[in-house]
Amino acid sequence: MNTNRYILATHNPVTRNNGVVWHRLHSEREDICEALLKECGTDVEPPGLAHGTSPEKALRTANWHRELLQARLRKTNDALDRLMSGSYGACCTCGRWIEDTKLNFDPAIAYCIDCWRRMQTKH
């Protein structure tokens, strides 16, 4: 049995491009988790309540914000998984490469523009 016991650093997706994408995604993930933990604090008054907003509306806004953070956390975790598996940058639907400008804008992007448009027209 011939097994390669040495993995070159260039083959490791985390160290590729000096780890810029991994560090960016990981940092965003930490920021999101921190924000979610702050929102889950029981002593914190819902945002907007001090500005004369009704408690119901403030609670809806807080829930909406938490759902946005959770959705972004899922996208960031998925992007980190793709990075580690070596499929980062490829569209999750068709497998085509996602443009570098789009990945630079949002490193958690999972779909090429054509597949994204098709998904938008279905909804």
Q: In this structure, are 81 and 37 located in the same domain?
A: yes
DSSP 97: B
pTM value is 0.75
Q: In this structure, are 66 and 112 located in the same domain?
A: no
Q: In this structure, are 33 and 78 located in the same domain?
A: yes
Q: In this structure, are 50 and 75 located in the same domain?
A: yes
Q: In this structure, are 81 and 96 located in the same domain?
A: no
State how far the alpha carbon of 97 is from the alpha carbons of 11, 39, 62, 72, in Å: 19, 37, 36, 22
- Nearest alpha-carbon partner for 84 in 15, 3, 4: 15
> Helices (H), strands (E): how many in the chain?
4, 0
Q: In this structure, are 58 and 6 located in the same domain?
A: yes
Q: In this structure, are 72 and 83 located in the same domain?
A: yes
How many other C-beta atoms can be found within 10 angstroms of the C-beta atom of residue 59? 14
Residues 85-122, buried b or exposed e (16+ Cβ, 10 A)?
eeebbebeeeeeebeeeebeeebbbbbbeebbeeeeee
Q: In this structure, are 44 and 72 located in the same domain?
A: yes
Is the confidence at residue 89, as pLDDT, over 90? yes
Is the confidence at residue 22, as pLDDT, over 60? yes
Quick: pLDDT tens for 23-69: 999 999 999 999 999 987 745 555 555 566 788 888 888 899 999 99
Q: In this structure, are 11 and 69 located in the same domain?
A: yes
Number of domains in the chain: 2
Lowest mean pLDDT among 2-11, 71-80, 109-118: 2-11
Is the confidence at residue 108, as pLDDT, over 80? yes
**Residue 118 is part of which domain span?**
90-123
